[in-house]
């Protein structure tokens, strides 16, 4: 079977709360065994990767009170589930104003894709619990590059 390469845009949304840096993640409500994810998805025709990240954040979370910080990096990933190579473009966003994004919530995805109607359960994961995790040993964090996270914290402290 032939494999393909597709572009994916991922959003790492951060905040500082309760004395620690946190990353917004979600699980599928109707699949308790599902992996932990960050908002993101495919890049559509006639949009660049950053535009795709912004669109995916809104479609998957409903959030509008976030602001773009910068592109963090690009990496290649093979999805055995989809049998495809993915070029993943990772972007950093943060809360515009402290306290506006809840600690936990459910959101029904609204889009034209196959995930329309899915219910995602969002929560904040302390970044220190992710840093140093070896992605090869931890499938549940396949969309979270722990090597990108120290830079997020450093940049947040500088701003």
What are the pLDDT tens digits along the chain (159 aa)? 566 789 999 999 999 888 888 999 999 898 877 788 899 999 999 999 999 999 999 999 999 889 999 999 998 988 887 788 999 999 999 988 777 899 999 999 888 878 888 899 999 988 877 765 555 544 445 567 666 776 666 655 665
Rg of the chain's alpha carbons, rounded to an integer? 15
Q: DSSP alpha helices (H): ranges in 2-148?
A: 49-61
Q: In the CATH scheme, what architecture does the domain 4-158 have? A: Alpha-Beta Complex (3.90)
Residues near 2 by Cβ (< 8 Å), separated by ≥ 6?
Answer: none
């Amino acid at each position: 079977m032939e494999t393909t390469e597709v572009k994916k845009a991922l959003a790492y949304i951060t905040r500082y709360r309760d004395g620690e840096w946190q990353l917004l993640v979600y699980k599928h409500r109707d699949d308790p065994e599902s992996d932990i994810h960050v908002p993101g998805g495919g890049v559509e025709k006639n949009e660049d990767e950053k535009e795709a990240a912004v669109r995916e954040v809104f479609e998957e979370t409903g959030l509008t009170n976030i602001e773009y910080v910068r592109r963090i990096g690009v990496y290649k990933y093979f999805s055995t589930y989809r049998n495809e190579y993915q070029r993943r473009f990772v972007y950093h966003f943060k809360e515009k104003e402290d306290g506006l994004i809840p600690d936990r919530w459910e959101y029904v995805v609204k889009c034209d894709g196959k995930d329309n109607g899915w219910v995602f359960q969002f929560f904040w994961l302390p970044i220190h619990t992710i840093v140093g995790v070896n992605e090869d040993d931890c499938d549940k964090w396949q969309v979270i590059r722990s090597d990108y996270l120290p830079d997020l914290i450093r940049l947040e402290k500088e701003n």
